[in-house]
Amino acid sequence: MLLPRWWRFLSQFMDILDQSGTLLFRIPEDWNPIFADRDLLAGANLREAQLTGTDFGNADLTGVCLARANLYQAFLNQTNLRHADLEDAILRGSDLEDADLGFANLKRADLSVSGVGGLTRLGGANLIGANLDGANLTGALYDSTTRFPDGFEPRSHGMLTLEEWQKAIEGYPGTTT
Beta-sheet pairing, 6-9 with 13-17: antiparallel
User: Distance (Å, rounded) from C-alpha 66 to C-alpha 15?
Assistant: 16
SS3 content of the chain, % helix, strand, coil (to 5): 5, 20, 70
Q: What are the domain boundaries of the chain? A: 49-177
Whole-prediction pTM value?
0.77
- Return the CATH number of 49-177, one of 1.10.150.80, 2.160.20.80, 1.10.3210.10, 3.40.718.10: 2.160.20.80
pLDDT in tens, 109-150: 999 998 777 899 999 999 999 999 999 999 999 999 999 999
pLDDT in tens, 45-70: 888 888 888 888 888 999 999 999 99
Position 48 scores a pLDDT of 86
Q: Is 138 exposed, middle or buried (0-12, 13-18, 19+ CB in 10 A)?
A: middle
User: Distance (Å, rounded) from C-alpha 128 to C-alpha 12?
Assistant: 40
Closest C-alpha to 143, from 160, 130, 127 = 160
